[in-house]
Amino acid sequence: MLLFCPLCANLLRIEEGTNSLRYFCFSCPYIYNITEKFSRRLYTKPKECDDVLGGAEAWANVDSTEETCPKCSHPRAYFMQIQTRSADEPMTTFYKCCNLQCNHRWRD
């Protein structure tokens, strides 16, 4: 926790005084004795991440091809191609298993 001097607005530093800790200002004579422990925990909420591929709507109107699923060995998979790198490199092909119980996704 950062505290600032009320007199000159500089950052207060901590030093050991006689039997206690205290805040002091490096540029003026301000001193504040610390009389009790102070702690605070702040739990942050993780931010929500959007699906990079566009979510369920992105897979709504895609074609399927004969590609074997590596998880369940189903013979067909949906696919879409997206340019994920620079323009001079090939597109990345994303697959999703046609088996509704599997729904495994992978890329090539």
The CATH topology of domain 1-39 is: N-terminal domain of TfIIb (2.20.25)
User: CB–CB of 93/79 below 8 Å?
Assistant: yes
pLDDT in tens, 1-39: 678 999 999 999 998 867 788 899 999 999 988 888 777
pLDDT digits (tens, 9 = 90+) for 43-91: 999 888 766 667 777 777 888 899 999 999 999 999 988 888 888 989 8
**DSSP single-letter state for residue 41:** -
**CATH number of 55-107, picked from 3.30.70.20, 3.40.50.2000, 2.60.120.10, 2.20.25.10:** 2.20.25.10
Q: Shortest CA distance to 77 belongs to which of 90, 58, 92, 62?
A: 62
Q: Is the pTM of this model over 0.75?
A: no
Pinpoint the residues of the chain covered by CATH 2.20.25.10.
Answer: 1-39, 55-107
Distance CA 15, CA 70 (A): 62
